[in-house]
């Protein structure tokens, strides 16, 4: 087998890019061998000097600026783009499914009973603008308005200026409010802005980011909730396509959108803005105990009232029955375990609160549209 020389023009400075690299590594381990060229590379950096004279077989690149685009345009080898900038539209490319990301963020904030919403973005980036557009649509479909922060610095970053701008913006928003930040770094800035304005998080402002950069989210004050992208699958699928291109197959320059895995809930959205105290108590009990095998009877013991009254109020305020909410929380736990672990289905069923693996499979197929095994295969990028 010919040893293929592959260049990875992907930065190692953020969690999203590192996740792509891990997915690529998984593919190489299963299908290699490849000889990898990985430069010390930051977001927005120009192309490495060696690329002009490099003799390789393929490239996977985050084409984030025109300098890299110019160099890659000259190469006569297969290239797969993993950037939303879309500077070389003739290439196949992989990107996050920003509609699905926005939908998850909107649902997460709506489930907290909030009635005011905002998006904090950065107009320099396509993915931020796409997330904003979709988030506004989902919020509007639920009957609410969405404020938008669109400012961005045209030149060198001045974070102090940005936080002051965001502080003024947040101060003028109605409260309580849920804010979706376009990525975790922006989410941390929103939290810093709230602290400067003495705005309580999450009671007055609930904040969710995107990328689930665990270090950044954990160091935020309070810890930041975040949408979890499937970077492993994105990198794996990009590598698989490059491998086929290097083998002589041809593909249209189509977009491949990869759905997110779910939400990592942390303190920044740990709020229930529900005026009905009994419903709020029931919702919190379900979200804390659903995977312990509870039933609606247990919910009624935790939030005493008649079953009919609880179900009527629950349906009105949450849009689901208590039973449906229990199932939803269990399915979210099962989805997370299927994508992030190699646990057998029987163990996943037990940890997600399903009495039997067969029941998990039936409910999963009915609501998700796939069996648990099909879901795991799709979202693990060829994994088990």
DSSP per residue, 41-90? --TT----GGGGT---SEEEE---SHHHHHHHHH--S-EEE--TT-S-TT
Check whether residue 47 and residue 136 sit in a common domain.
no
* pLDDT number for residue 340: 80
Distance CA 227, CA 261 (A): 8
Question: Is the peptide bond between 249 and the residue preceding it cis, with omega within 30 degrees of 0?
Answer: no
141 within domain boundaries? yes
Q: Name the 3-class secondary structure at 257.
A: strand
22 within domain boundaries? yes
Check whether residue 58 and residue 102 sit in a common domain.
no
Of 32-36, 82-86, 182-186, 233-237, the range with the lowest mean pLDDT is: 32-36
243 within domain boundaries? yes
151 within domain boundaries? yes
Residue with tokens 């935790």: 302
Residue with tokens 């299963």: 30
Residue with tokens 């002051």: 164
Residues with Cβ within 8 Å of 76's Cβ and at least 6 positions away in sequence, in order, are none
Distances (CA, A) of 317 to 6, 87, 113, 114, 313: 53, 45, 7, 10, 6
Check whether residue 372 and residue 305 sit in a common domain.
yes
Of the residues 269, 297, 318, the one at which a domain ends: 269
Check whether residue 173 and residue 68 sit in a common domain.
no
Domain total for the chain?
3
Give per-residue burial for 9-43: e unless 16+ CB within 10 Å, then b.
Answer: bbbeebbbbebbbebbbbbbeeebebebbebebee
> What pTM does this model have?
0.82
User: Is the pLDDT reported for residue 154 higher than 70?
Assistant: no
More confident site: 153 or 317: 317
Of the residues 242, 269, 296, the one at which a domain ends: 269
Torsions phi, psi for 350 (to 5 deg): -65, -45
172 within domain boundaries? yes
316 within domain boundaries? yes
Q: Can you tell me the mean pLDDT for 317-327? A: 89
Check whether residue 194 and residue 250 sit in a common domain.
no
Check whether residue 244 and residue 286 sit in a common domain.
no
Is 56 in contact with 5 (CB distance < 8 Å)? Answer: yes
More confident site: 46 or 156: 46
Check whether residue 108 and residue 205 sit in a common domain.
yes
283 within domain boundaries? yes
What strands lie across the sheet with 79-81, from one edge to the other?
Answer: 34-38, 4-9, 58-61, 79-81, 93-96, 255-258
Distance CA 317, CA 111 (A): 9
Check whether residue 116 and residue 220 sit in a common domain.
yes
CATH number at residue 323: 1.10.10.60
CATH number at residue 244: 3.40.50.2300
User: Is the pLDDT reported for residue 156 higher than 60?
Assistant: no
Check whether residue 65 and residue 171 sit in a common domain.
no
Torsions phi, psi for 308 (to 5 deg): -65, -40
User: Is the pLDDT reported for residue 59 higher than 90?
Assistant: yes
Q: Can you tell me the mean pLDDT for 252-269? A: 91
> Residue 9: which domain range?
4-96+231-260
Residues with Cβ within 8 Å of 308's Cβ and at least 6 positions away in sequence, in order, are none
Check whether residue 67 and residue 18 sit in a common domain.
yes
Check whether residue 224 and residue 290 sit in a common domain.
no
Distance CA 20, CA 256 (A): 14
Residues with Cβ within 8 Å of 344's Cβ and at least 6 positions away in sequence, in order, are none
Quickly state the pLDDT bin for 278 (edges 50, 70, 90): confident
Is 268 in contact with 207 (CB distance < 8 Å)? Answer: yes
Of the residues 213, 245, 269, the one at which a domain ends: 269
Quickly state the pLDDT bin for 381 (edges 50, 70, 90): low
Is 357 in contact with 345 (CB distance < 8 Å)? Answer: yes
What residues are paired with 58 via a beta bridge? 6
Question: Is the peptide bond between 352 and the residue preceding it cis, with omega within 30 degrees of 0?
Answer: no
Check whether residue 148 and residue 247 sit in a common domain.
no
The predicted-structure confidence for 60-75, as pLDDT tens digits, reads as follows 999 988 999 999 999 9
384 within domain boundaries? no
The predicted-structure confidence for 336-356, as pLDDT tens digits, reads as follows 899 888 899 999 999 999 989
């Amino acid at each position: 087998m010919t040893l293929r020389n592959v260049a990875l023009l992907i930065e190692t400075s953020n969690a999203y890019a590192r996740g792509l690299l891990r997915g690529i590594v998984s593919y190489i381990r299963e299908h290699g061998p490849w000889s990898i060229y990985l430069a010390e590379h930051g977001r927005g950096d120009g192309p490495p000097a060696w690329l002009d004279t490099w003799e390789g077989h393929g490239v996977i690149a985050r084409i984030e600026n025109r300098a890299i685009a110019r160099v890659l345009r000259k190469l006569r080898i297969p290239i797969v783009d993993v950037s939303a900038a879309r500077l070389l539209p003739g290439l196949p490319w992989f990107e996050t499914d920003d509609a699905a990301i926005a939908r998850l963020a909107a649902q997460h904030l709506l489930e907290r009973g909030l009635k005011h919403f905002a998006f904090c973005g950065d107009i320099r980036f396509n993915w931020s603008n796409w997330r904003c557009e979709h988030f506004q649509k989902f919020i509007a479909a639920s009957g609410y308005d969405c404020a938008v922060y669109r400012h961005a610095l045209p030149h060198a970053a001045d974070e102090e200026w940005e936080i002051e701008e965001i502080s003024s913006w947040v101060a003028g928003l109605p409260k309580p409010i849920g804010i979706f930040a376009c990525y975790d770094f922006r989410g941390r800035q929103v939290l810093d802005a709230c602290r400067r304005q003495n705005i309580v998080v999450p009671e007055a402002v609930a904040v969710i980011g995107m990328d689930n950069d665990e270090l950044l989210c954990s160091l935020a004050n309070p810890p930041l909730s975040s949408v979890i992208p499937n970077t492993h699958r994105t990198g794996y699928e990009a590598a698989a396509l490059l491998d086929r291109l290097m083998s002589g197959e041809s593909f249209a320059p189509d977009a491949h959108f990869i759905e997110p895995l779910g939400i990592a809930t942390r303190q920044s959205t740990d709020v229930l803005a529900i005026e009905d105290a009994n419903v709020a108590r029931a919702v919190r009990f379900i979200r804390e105990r659903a995977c312990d095998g509870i039933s609606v009877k247990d919910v009624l013991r935790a939030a005493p009232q008649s079953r009919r009254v609880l179900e009527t109020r629950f349906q009105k305020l949450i849009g689901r029955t208590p039973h449906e909410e229990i199932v939803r929380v269990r399915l979210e736990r099962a989805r997370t375990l299927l994508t992030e672990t190699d646990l057998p289905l029987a163990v996943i069923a037990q940890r997600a609160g399903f009495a039997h693996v067969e029941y998990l499979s039936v409910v999963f197929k009915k609501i998700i549209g796939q069996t648990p095994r099909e879901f795991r295969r799709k979202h693990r990028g060829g994994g088990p």
